[in-house]
Chain A
Amino acid sequence: MPQETSATRLRALAAEVFDVPAEEITDGAAFYEDLGVDSLQKVDFVVRMERQLGLKLTDDEAAGMRDLGGAITVLRSRGLSVGP
């Protein structure tokens, strides 16, 4: 199980799941409000991230991932090393 990941990898995953260009997925771009993501795409992103990293997030942690920066914060709080 990888205990590290990178913002670039997470951005690429989000770009694929949300079907938006990777450069639009900045740390502060809100998934719902700015990127027009729906709740199913959001939960799909969370589950695919969990699968990649082999970890389970709590409901509250998942809900806290409102943008890429938020996702990185949650992962770091779980002890993962998230590079650039």
Chain B
Amino acid sequence: MPASVTVCGAGLRLSEVDDLASLARRLRSAPAPAEVRRFAAPDTVLAPVEREVYGPVEPRVPARAGTRGLRSLPHESLLALGAAASTPGKQGPDDTTAVVWASSTAGLPEYATVCAEASTLEPGFVAPALGPASAHNGPAATVSIRLGLAGPNLTLTGGATAGISAIAEAMRLIAAGDARAALVGASATVTRWSLTAAQDHLTPAEGAACLVLDPAGGSGIQLGECHRTDLVRATARVIQAAARPQTRPDGLVVSTSDFGLVDALASGQPFPVWHVERALGDLGAAGGFLAVVGAAALCAATGPLAAPRPLPDAGLLAGPGLLPDAGLLAGPGLLPDAGLLAGAGLLAAPGERSEPNPIRPTKILALAVEPCGSTASLEVSSS
């Protein structure tokens, strides 16, 4: 794995989020109201249900991805394509950019529809076009084929850690030389089928997001220091990092279905903690990916601030002792200024204040935690 990669572009297709700045705002704000939608699964015993969800989201596929054949593509593949094709960059025919995608839901409605058709139609009358789309890899395949990216094509599934593992695997493919660069993304859709496994305390959400990762160093948002381990070790890492000014992050973005865990992680920390599922809803594997995109958005909102800025209140805000309520900042509605707090100099520890250049890169950790205890984390920084 290379030490780090640079984020060269981002594409977003999310409810009520247009760009990285609005993603950062959304993470810092109280949860937005969700829309009640009705979901049905024809030809099955499943009764229609009404549920508050974040969505629907329009794919808005740019012309770059071509137009013919779009209408036969699954909605989730279209969301992925919309996000991917809106990133900058024109690839040549032999482009070895990797496409690495994470999703818990891709192909699920197609799989279920084939089953329903097989249950109600004669053998051989099942729509064949649904079949290949009923596996998990529709989004990655669609992006690779439509954008002509001949690098490795990888799909990860599972829970929230898959969204961060996707970035780790993309970094591995770049380091090995299999890929020149990587288009990494994640997506989720809400259907009557996905709702059978939805958790009551979360708002299901649909959407897609992607990042273009390049190994070349340079200024901008950097991703590095990926760790995939169990919850005990991951928590220990956060606590250890927080204990020392040199390693202390300026914030933590967590993707988990466990609100209590987020409260526990936030308690006593000298930095704010943001919660993906609270702000954006349940996106499955894409939640872990959005922890990284969210961290990048928060870095971008505060970080490229590499230029020195006046720090009138730095002294007041700096230092763990002066932020007794930092944990509370993670509470609902209490985060209006959290982004400001994450600003480079504003969280400088007392020991650092005497340094000639108090500006250091903003560093925000992204962490995904699954109910089984698997975790993945990544360090997002601006330089």
A–B touch (CB < 8 A): the answer is: yes
Q: Which residues of A contact B (CB under 8 A)?
A: 17, 19-20, 40-41, 43-44, 47-48, 50-51, 56
A51's nearest neighbour on chain B, judged by CB, is B125
Closest-CB distance, B137 to chain A (whole angstroms): 15
Interface pair A47/B128, CB less than 8 Å apart: yes
Q: Produce 1/0 per residue, B220-250, CB < 8 A to A.
A: 0000000000000000000000000000000
10 A–B contacts from the bound complex (CB under 8 Å): A17-B72, A19-B68, A19-B70, A40-B132, A41-B129, A44-B127, A47-B124, A47-B127, A50-B124, A51-B121
Residue B93 CB within 8 A of the other chain: no
* Interface SS majority for chain A: helix
How many chain B residues have a CB neighbour from A under 8 Å? 13
Residue B71 CB within 8 A of the other chain: yes
B126's nearest neighbour on chain A, judged by CB, is A47
Interface pair A50/B125, CB less than 8 Å apart: yes
Closest-CB distance, A65 to chain B (whole angstroms): 14
Residue B69 CB within 8 A of the other chain: yes
Closest-CB distance, A70 to chain B (whole angstroms): 19
B71's nearest neighbour on chain A, judged by CB, is A19
Interface pair B72/A43, CB less than 8 Å apart: no
Top 8 nearest A-B pairs (CB, nearest first) are: A44-B129, A43-B128, A19-B69, A51-B125, A19-B68, A44-B128, A47-B128, A40-B129
B131's nearest neighbour on chain A, judged by CB, is A40
B123's nearest neighbour on chain A, judged by CB, is A56
Q: Produce 1/0 per residue, B120-150, CB < 8 A to A.
A: 0100111111001000000000000000000
Q: Known contacts A19-B71, A41-B129; can you find 5 more A-B pairs with CB under 8 A? A: A19-B68, A20-B68, A44-B128, A44-B129, A47-B128
CA distance in complex: A56, B126 (Å): 13
CA distance in complex: A51, B122 (Å): 9
Interface pair A19/B124, CB less than 8 Å apart: no
Interface pair B124/A56, CB less than 8 Å apart: yes
Interface pair A40/B128, CB less than 8 Å apart: yes
CA distance in complex: A16, B209 (Å): 30
**Which residues does chain B contribute within 8 Å of A41, judged by CB atoms?**
72, 129
Closest-CB distance, B203 to chain A (whole angstroms): 35
Interface pair A48/B127, CB less than 8 Å apart: yes
**Which residues does chain B contribute within 8 Å of A44, judged by CB atoms?**
127-129
Q: Produce 1/0 per residue, B52-73, CB < 8 A to A.
A: 0000000000000000111110
**Which residues does chain B contribute within 8 Å of A50, judged by CB atoms?**
124-125
Closest-CB distance, B223 to chain A (whole angstroms): 36
Closest-CB distance, A72 to chain B (whole angstroms): 21
CA distance in complex: A32, B72 (Å): 18
B133's nearest neighbour on chain A, judged by CB, is A40
* Of B69, B121, B128, most A-chain CB atoms within 10 Å: B128
**Which residues does chain A contribute within 8 Å of B124, judged by CB atoms?**
47, 50, 56
A36's nearest neighbour on chain B, judged by CB, is B68
**Which residues does chain A contribute within 8 Å of B127, judged by CB atoms?**
44, 47-48
Interfacial residues of chain B within 63-93, with CB under 8 A of chain A in the complex: 68-72
Interface pair B72/A19, CB less than 8 Å apart: yes
CA distance in complex: A17, B129 (Å): 10
CA distance in complex: A47, B122 (Å): 11
CA distance in complex: A56, B122 (Å): 10
**Which residues does chain B contribute within 8 Å of A43, judged by CB atoms?**
128
B132's nearest neighbour on chain A, judged by CB, is A40
CA distance in complex: A4, B125 (Å): 19
**Which residues does chain A contribute within 8 Å of B126, judged by CB atoms?**
47
A38's nearest neighbour on chain B, judged by CB, is B69
**Which residues does chain A contribute within 8 Å of B132, judged by CB atoms?**
40
Closest-CB distance, B229 to chain A (whole angstroms): 42
**Which residues does chain A contribute within 8 Å of B69, judged by CB atoms?**
19
**Which residues does chain A contribute within 8 Å of B71, judged by CB atoms?**
19
Closest-CB distance, B6 to chain A (whole angstroms): 37
CA distance in complex: A48, B126 (Å): 9
Closest-CB distance, A35 to chain B (whole angstroms): 11
Instruction: Tell me which of B68, B70, B72, B125 contacts A47 (CB under 8 A).
Output: B125
B125's nearest neighbour on chain A, judged by CB, is A51
* Of B70, B124, B127, B129, most A-chain CB atoms within 10 Å: B129
